[in-house]
Amino acid sequence: MTPKHQEIIDTTLQAIQARERQYHRALSLPPEEPFCTRSVEELRASLLGQKLCWIAEYVEGYPAAVQPERREQEWG
């Protein structure tokens, strides 16, 4: 994957995490539970991170990725 595509994906994932933090703060009951910030590597390993990587790889000309095995939940 090109560095530019990786930067776009990382920026997108961090923006989503920032929005999640805002929702957490707004919806938490006192005493507020601390928000669990994830590392960039954890964000990339998330289901959304994987899907964004697939899209970027497809745009770069790689063949469409096969659905990975997920232990937890499926997309959607």
Average pLDDT of 3-17? 96
> What are the pLDDT digits (tens) for 11-54?
999 999 999 999 888 888 776 778 888 999 999 999 999 999 99
Element (H, E) at 53: helix 47-59
Q: Is the pTM of this model over 0.85?
A: no
Q: How far is residue 28 from each of residues 12, 21, 23, 35, 51, measured CA to CA in Å?
A: 24, 10, 8, 10, 29
- Higher local confidence (pLDDT), 2 or 33: 2
In this structure, what are the phi and psi dihedrals at residue 38, rounded to the nearest 5 degrees? Answer: -100, 150
Distance CA 59, CA 69 (A): 22
Q: Who's near 40: CB < 8 A, 6+ residues apart?
A: 10, 13, 14
